[in-house]
Amino acid sequence: MPDDLFDPLVWLILLPILWAVLTFLPGPGRGAVVAIVSLCLQLGCAVRLTADIIAHGARTHLAGGWPAPLGIPLAADGLAAAMLVLTQAVGLAVALYARSYFRDGSSLWFWPLTGFLFAGMNGLFLSGDLFNLYVTLELVGLAAVGLVANGGKAEQAAAALRYLMASLIGSGAYLFGVALVYGACGTVALDHLAGMISAPVPPALWLAFALMAAGLLLKTALFPLHYWLPPAHGDAPAPVSALLSALVVKASFYLFLRLWLGPFACLVALAPMLAWLPALLGSAAVLYGSWMAIRAERLKMLIAYSTVAQLGYLFLIFPVFGGGALALQAGLLHATAHGTAKAAMFIAAGTLIRVGENDSVRGMAGVANQLPVTLFAFALAGVSLMGLPPSGGFLAKWLLIDAALSSGQLWIAVVAITGGLLASVYIFRVLHLAFRVPDGREELRPRPVPAAMEWTALLLATASVGLGLFAMPLFALLERVGT
Amino acid sequence: MTVNELLPLAVIASSLIPGLIIFTLPERQVAVRTTLNLAGAVTKILLTGLLLIGVVSGESFAVRYTVAPGLELVFKADALALLFVSLSATLWLFTTLYAIGYLEQAPHRSRFFGFFSLCVTATMGIAMAGNLFTFFIFYELLTLTTFPLIVHRGNAKALRGGTVYLGYTLGGGAVLLVGIVWLHHLAGQTDFVQGGMTALLDSAPRLHLQAIFLLLIAGVGVKAALVPLHGWLPQAMVAPAPVSALLHAVAVVKAGAFGVVRIVYEIYGIESARNLDLLAPLAMVAGVTILWGSGRALFQDDLKKRLAFSTVSQVSYIVLGVALFGMAGTVGGLAHLVHQGVMKITLFFCAGNYAESLGIHKVSEMNGGGRRMPLTSLAFAIGALGMMGAPMTAGAVSKAWLNQGAMDAGMDWAVWVLTGSSLLNAAYFLPILYRLWLRPAPAEWPHERIPARGWRETDWLLLLPPLATAGTVLLASLFADAAISPLSLARLIGRMEYLEPSP
């Protein structure tokens, strides 16, 4: 048991709150260094926690020493630890990028809002009761909306409002569900609930499950509840898009998965057909999102729709949990690979758009040759999104197909393969422009780009590809999952 | 890590590392880039030599690395792997030399040579893959690394060729992936084992095994350009000549054919493949491809397109040899894997020389070329005669074994296919030779860029590679019985496949 004062569990939540406040005080546009230093510390905490969990199993912490039901229990198992490392690592890379990206002073309240966003996400991964999860969910939602609106342009404000509505409806539905659970069971602590809910299940709990699931699916932007995502992710400044697409939607997915495997496992066991719903919607998301990405005219819209498609994959794992550990491995690996790849792709796109002063897909033809590192990052991230080897996306696809075959759900394998091919259409739509010889008038005056903007993208993309070969620690963490 | 584990990795690294460094080099650093390229190519040949000596004396080279629970990356350098590795390593050196000469002053050379090296790295991975999982990783990597080479020129035609290539190969890759995961799901692993995965073959349902075979062969059949999956190959000839050499001889179509060999011999095993009634349909597809490719080649006026259809036909000789049950067919097919590569690369080098030096792209423009470029035309003639199976050339050796194999297997129709194809080969190659040597030259060449200086009819970097490979075509036949000739290696593999089934 580590000393309470230095328990990484606590600091993972406290540090971001601290830097959110510190960066807020000096006024808009300040605070990059504080945030980056703090993110380094957070990453250290997350890694230490992970090592702890691999060595000794899941961890809990009672905030202030008060036990449940009065106190606030914090809990971390392998799944949470993996998400925490992913979040801090991607966050750090994006923060380094953002420091250069916002060098023109346009960051406004980016840093404090991002601080609250990380406090919310880390809290969400670590909370052990449904009500606290609601609080963190709300914090994440509001900070994310704030980040979208922060750019100050009209279309960003419109996208943020839409996002705000979706977010509020989502968390409202979730909160309603929490109230119903509390009414039926008298507790909201996850570990108590898991043992408490058993057949026969009262209708109130079914309703609670439906409400919470619907709310979380709306926040995760699962087709057809994705309508708010493309404008929010596509119109925000590049670092914000990266954080939202790579991390924020994963947080609500994480909670959905947690509830599915934890308190509501009994309900799912009673009605196994339930698993088909997320999977069917997920398949539709893969096909629809890819199709829209193929047709998108603006580069960031293309990437945003790609997120809609890639989120669909995450939901394909629900009917195949019968196939052993494969499904969870596939899900976590896909979440991780997509998180790193999508962050890389959004920030690479941000660099390309800034240099080319043109955000259409066709506009990439002229700039790509000037920024080989960024282009390479974009391509590597694309390899992972297409699920081509040796990337993390590929390994996740392999595991998913294996899981699908093991549980006899061939159609899931077909969706996964088709989605990969569709992804290659929209990725190569961009890449092949890079090879086109510009026809004179597209000549651009070279504009120097800070190295940090190019190399952070490459780092993230390389991580995503590297996950295909070095994912064993991730799988080791999954053996430490308490449900 | 022991030396036996390190050597296969070193062979892969010898092109991977130079490739990655070359990407970072500025365009004008020609000397550093050339040094890196050649150092990589020579190192690879030396390492391959070490492996060859080791394998012939009975050493085994293998290395394993766990990627996910129950999923391993495996490299092994056995005789079959080395057949392909030594072919690619040798031809890579020649192609690199040729490419250095060919691309002088062209833009984006760092990008070109970077991907060029990665392409060969992927080929090495394919050759030494120890299971289908590893094979697939490098097979797809090959797709990704050849695409930038095909679209290198960046004009509309090149981009179209590249798109068609991607469409075919990524589609094929998807089909292959399904087959591999299915197999992995049934067997728990996908290791290449001499004689095949016998335990699986006894237990799994026959229909499943046949379906998986179809998926696997369709997947690798795209790169092997089996009819009707060959459509990308003639389109891809828009690429620069060194890339065509890479596609047709060193890497891509070879990777497909090699995949067929591994799947038939080391996943299914030749016996089981026959018992599952898989060999005859495969031989049939190969026969159709041989005749179709030769037939289409007859009507192409574009020289590179004619050569491309010729490749479609010739690569299926390998597939046909593999599908013929019996030692002779196997040996013929495997020997042709090497022989076809050497002959076809000669022809593409020569085609590149005509195009670069004189601006000749069409067969109808080749009149009198033999007098203006005698050495290139001599190399071309040797390559073309080899393709026809003329005596004293490598082509004759593989065709003789293939014919013997067809008779041993009792497939008399295959003998007719081979004979018919030889006649067709003669019908599309002899007119070229006639034009080159016996017709008068035109008053002016289409676009003469490199003037002749004495005996040096073109840049020496363009001239030496085809001469060297043409020489190899003759040597492979004259010294077919030497200890380390392609034929001897093929016979070694054949003996292991038929006489020493795994326990």
- Looking at the structure of chain A, the number of domains it has is 1
| Nearest CA-CA partner of A356 in A443, A269, A270, A280 | A443
| Nearest CA-CA partner of B46 in B7, B17, B19 | B7
pLDDT score recorded for residue B467? 92
Total residue count of chain B as it appears in this document: 503
Q: In terms of DSSP H, where are the helices of B362-442?
A: 369-372, 374-388, 394-408, 412-438
Tell me the pLDDT band of B272, cut-offs 50, 70 and 90. confident
CA distance B171 to A269: 38
Residues of B in contact with A424 (CB under 8 A): 166, 170
CA distance B450 to A27: 68
pLDDT score recorded for residue B145? 93
Tokens of A117: 């966003």
Tokens of A125: 């991964």
Q: In terms of DSSP H, where are the helices of A244-391?
A: 249-261, 265-270, 276-295, 299-315, 326-356, 364-367, 372-386
CA distance B389 to B396: 4
Phi and psi torsions of B76, nearest 5°? -145, 140
Residues of B in contact with A394 (CB under 8 A): 137, 140
* AA identity, residue A257: L
| Nearest CA-CA partner of B116 in B33, B49, B28 | B33
pLDDT score recorded for residue B502? 41
Q: Domain limits at A473?
A: 272-483
Interface contact A395, partner B, CB < 8 A: yes
In a domain, A290, yes or no: yes
The Cα of B70 is separated from the nearest Cα of chain A by a number of Å equal to 11
- Give me the mean pLDDT over the A447-464 stretch: 91
Residue A369 DSSP code? G
In a domain, A88, yes or no: no
Does A164 have pLDDT greater than 70?
yes
Instruction: Collapse the DSSP code of A184 into the 3-class scheme (helix H, G, I; strand E, B; otherwise coil) and give the result.
Output: helix
In a domain, A60, yes or no: no
Does A442 have pLDDT greater than 70?
no
Q: What is the separation of C-alpha B394 from the centre of its chain, rounded to a whole number of angstroms?
A: 15
From the list B133, B162, B170, which residue is nearest A432 (CB)? B162
Helix axes A249-261, A326-356, angle to 10 degrees: 170
pLDDT score recorded for residue A440? 57
In a domain, A53, yes or no: no
CA distance A341 to A268: 32
pLDDT in tens, A261-315: 888 988 888 888 889 999 999 999 999 999 999 999 999 999 999 999 999 999 9
Tokens of A40: 């380094």
> In the block, which residue shows the tokens 């008399």?
B412
In a domain, A261, yes or no: no
The Cα of A442 is separated from the nearest Cα of chain B by a number of Å equal to 15
Question: Could you give the ipTM of this predicted complex?
Answer: 0.92
Q: What is the separation of C-alpha B102 from the centre of its chain, rounded to a whole number of angstroms?
A: 21
| A54, A97, A461, B22, B452 from A466: Cα distances, Å | 21, 21, 8, 21, 51
A4 Cβ neighbours under 8 A, 6+ residues apart: A10, A61, A65
CA distance B273 to B51: 30
CB contact under 8 A, B170 and A424: yes
Interface contact A436, partner B, CB < 8 A: yes
Residue B410 DSSP code? T
Q: In terms of DSSP H, where are the helices of B103-197?
A: 109-128, 132-150, 156-187
- Give me the mean pLDDT over the A81-95 stretch: 96
- Give me the mean pLDDT over the A45-49 stretch: 94
- Give me the mean pLDDT over the B203-230 stretch: 92
Is B77 in contact with B7 (CB distance < 8 Å)?
yes
Cis ω on the peptide bond leading into residue A390 (within 30° of 0)? yes
Does A443 have pLDDT greater than 60?
no
Interface contact A392, partner B, CB < 8 A: no
Does A193 have pLDDT greater than 80?
yes
In a domain, A66, yes or no: no
* AA identity, residue B78: D
In a domain, A240, yes or no: no
From the list B141, B151, B173, which residue is nearest A432 (CB)? B151
In a domain, A403, yes or no: yes
From the list B68, B153, B162, which residue is nearest A475 (CB)? B68
- Give me the mean pLDDT over the B377-385 stretch: 94
